[in-house]
Amino acid sequence: MSEQKETIITVKNLVKKFGNFRANDNLSFEVFKGEIFGFLGANGAGKTTAIKILCGLWAPTSGDINVAGFDIYTQTEQIKRNIGYMSQKFSLYEDITVFENIRLFGGIYGLSRREIAQRATDLMRRLDLEHSRDKLISSLPLGWRQKLAFSVAILHKPKLVFLDEPTGGVDPVTRRKFWDQIYEAADRGITVFVTTHYMDEAEYCDRVSIMVDGRIADIDTPSALKEKYRVKNMNEVFLKIARILPDQNN
Amino acid sequence: MKRFWGFVLKEFLHIFRDTRTMLILFGMPIVQILLFGYVITNELKDIKIAILDQSKDPVTIELTNKIISSGFFILDRNIKNMKEVEDVFKEGNVRQVIIFESGFGRKLNREGIASIQLIADASDANTANLVVHYTMAIIGDFVREQNKLTGSPIQFIPEVRMLYNNELKGVYMFIPGIMAMILILVSAMMTSISIVREKELGTMETLLVSPLRPAQIILGKVTPYIALSFINAVTIIIMGNLVFGMPVQGSIILLLAESILYILLGLSLGILISTITKTQQNAMFISLFALMLPTILLSGFIYPIENMPKVLQWLSLFMPPRWFITIIKNIMLKGTGLMYVWKETLILIVMTSLFLGLSIRKFKIRLE
């Protein structure tokens, strides 16, 4: 399915060193427009480092990287304007209201007052939050906050949204509901780049890459990976890869 | 620009919705002023004094009675000669010795002029100053009464000596001191906490990924505190004036400008603290220990710098409040202009740029 697709992220030979430690060791991969790309790996495998580089937060040590059509070294400002971001911690302010949060982030991304009002109404209707417009975020249940945080992250209609472990610490039902939202966003043409260490979530992605010790161990669709390693689910794929790679190093 | 103001608005919302922050911002200055003003400096009751009356005539007896019946003083003892003065102070109970010269009443009648010597134990500077001021007020009152009775003008020449602490730091010391302390506390501690809070919550990342520039984020966090610290400065000046009669002899514009400079210094310190700490608690402790204690102890706010050991005197050179206190004391009490405080002002400017430069470097290193 990937041949005729347009790429939105191109990474060639990305290296990020911290002293002598290679957090990202020669990564090369592509993400295609409109897909849900899963970026998997154990904690400390280098996922967060890579995502920070792709978002323009950190400069890479070397490598050619293009995000949403812009160069990571010279055009970080344009990149920032065209991406959305939601981190594993909540990205909304708890002590201000639902609408104030929407207004704040809309404003930061340069939306006009009318656009903000319109999209806020839309969004609150879609999430069934109309009655909570003036409630503080801290008064909302966790699941609602997360949905809202995601909607706010894509309020400015970015081409691409980065989700850094968006479902960390949430129960399976809420997680499943959150993924419905991710599908909706993908349907609207937003490319989703998501990191997770829940292997059941890997099944929901169009393609996944699996990182081990700073390198990409494998990258393909979940079904192709399962076939390749002759296992039933992604969890086993992950375990196999994690076991094989250190052996190759020795 | 619109992005920026939306962000500043959000910062104000954080502040106004948090009662604790509001209390620290607006309650603290008022409480501090009243505390320092009333408890520390103004309590004067039943102070023990000794009197050396070398004349023992009706005038000295009447004046002695007036002083003792005022309620502020208790006559601990009458002493016979000058040699006893030192002993009386060394025992430690007596705070002031009043000495009437011999032939006091006679001189007063003949020449219209007589001398009283007030010797105070100034190891506690504030009390000594108050004791002397109260005594002088009572004597002044007495002189006025006498003048009314006799019709002919008489005059006492009180001669004041402060023992053990010639460099007496006056009561007016505490308002500049409180101002220095509160402004640096609010601007440095509150900003560092509020910046570090964004780091702790993870919202800082979200902001850094957004089109807001790092400088805009920091400036946005800091702007509300500039405004609030300024309101604090004005409150302190007004309260000092209305409640404690602290004058502003010099230019009020210069005073406010210097305050703003000092606030900026506090903010740049706050930003620096926020770049080296990861939790709100750390930020608070660093602010308290690095700023509040030195402000109180080393700035000359309470303990005169001249009486410190040399090492501490050197250390106090690096305390921003020291310079600020000197500046505003000059402006408020002596009415001096920029001409006389430009050196201190320059020091504050240099310190501010140093802190800002350091934090920009730290901030960049972190982003690499």
Give the CATH number of the domain where residue A224 resides.
3.40.50.300
Q: How far apart are CA B356 and CA B185, in angstroms?
A: 17
Most confident of A66-75, B17-26, B97-106, B335-344: A66-75
- A46 within some domain: yes
In this prediction, residues A201-225 reach a mean pLDDT of 91
Question: Which of B48-62, B71-85, B148-162, B311-325 bottoms out in mean pLDDT, i.e. has the lowest?
Answer: B148-162
- In terms of Cα–Cα distance, which of B133, B159, B172, B143 is closest to B44? B133
- Sign of the dihedral through C-alpha A216, A217, A222, A223: positive
CA distance to partner chain A, nearest, from residue B303 (Å): 42
- What is the model's pLDDT at position B168? 40
Q: What is the ipTM of this complex?
A: 0.86
Question: Which of A4-8, A91-95, B124-128, B144-148 bottoms out in mean pLDDT, i.e. has the lowest?
Answer: B124-128
Q: How far apart are CA B318 and CA B347, in angstroms?
A: 10
- A105 within some domain: no
- A100 within some domain: no
Q: What is the DSSP string of B162-210?
A: EES-SS---GGGHHHHHHHHHHHIIIIIIHHHHHHHHHHHTHHHHHHHS
- A118 within some domain: no
Question: Which residue of A lies nearest to B198 if distances are taken between CA atoms?
Answer: A93
Per residue in B260-284, pLDDT (tens digit) is 999 999 999 999 999 888 888 888 8
Domain count, chain A: 1
Question: Which of A142-151, B94-103, B146-155, B164-173 bottoms out in mean pLDDT, i.e. has the lowest?
Answer: B164-173
Largest CA distance in chain A: 60
> Tokens at residue B272, please?
């620096």
Per residue in A111-148, pLDDT (tens digit) is 999 999 999 999 999 888 889 889 999 898 888 888 89
Contact A14, A63 (CB under 8 A): yes
- What is the model's pLDDT at position B254? 93
Q: Which domain holds residue A47?
A: 7-87+160-249
In this prediction, residues A202-208 reach a mean pLDDT of 92
Q: Which of B10, B209, B367 sits opposite A104 (nearest CB)?
A: B10
pLDDT greater than 60 at residue B94: yes
Task: Report the 10 Å Cβ neighbour count for A86.
Answer: 26
> Tokens at residue B239, please?
């309260």
Question: Which residue of B lies nearest to A48 if distances are taken between CA atoms?
Answer: B205
In this prediction, residues B61-84 reach a mean pLDDT of 86
Q: Which residue has the tokens 């050196």?
A: B343
- Give residue A160's pLDDT band: very low, low, confident or very high (50, 70, 90): very high
Residue-averaged pLDDT of chain B? 82
Q: Do A104 and B202 touch (CB under 8 A)?
A: no
Residue spans per domain, chain B = 2-39+171-367, 44-163
Higher-scoring residue by pLDDT: B291, A17: A17
- In terms of Cα–Cα distance, which of B154, B161, B141 is closest to B98? B161
- A48 within some domain: yes
- What is the model's pLDDT at position B155? 65
Q: Do A95 and B13 touch (CB under 8 A)?
A: yes
- Domain over B44-163 is classified CATH 3.10.20.30: no
Q: Which of B14, B212, B368 sits opposite A59 (nearest CB)?
A: B368
Contacts of residue B59, Cβ cutoff 8 Å, sequence gap at least 6 = B104, B105, B108, B146
Q: What is the CA radius of gyration of chain B?
A: 26
- A120 within some domain: no
In this prediction, residues B249-255 reach a mean pLDDT of 90
Going by DSSP bridges, is the β-strand pair A191-196/A160-164 parallel, antiparallel, or unpaired? Answer: parallel
pLDDT greater than 70 at residue B129: yes
- A171 within some domain: yes
In this prediction, residues A195-220 reach a mean pLDDT of 89
Per residue in A102-111, pLDDT (tens digit) is 999 999 999 9
- A45 within some domain: yes
- In this prediction, what percent of chain A has a pLDDT beyond 70? 95
Q: Do A85 and B6 touch (CB under 8 A)?
A: no
- What is the model's pLDDT at position B152? 64
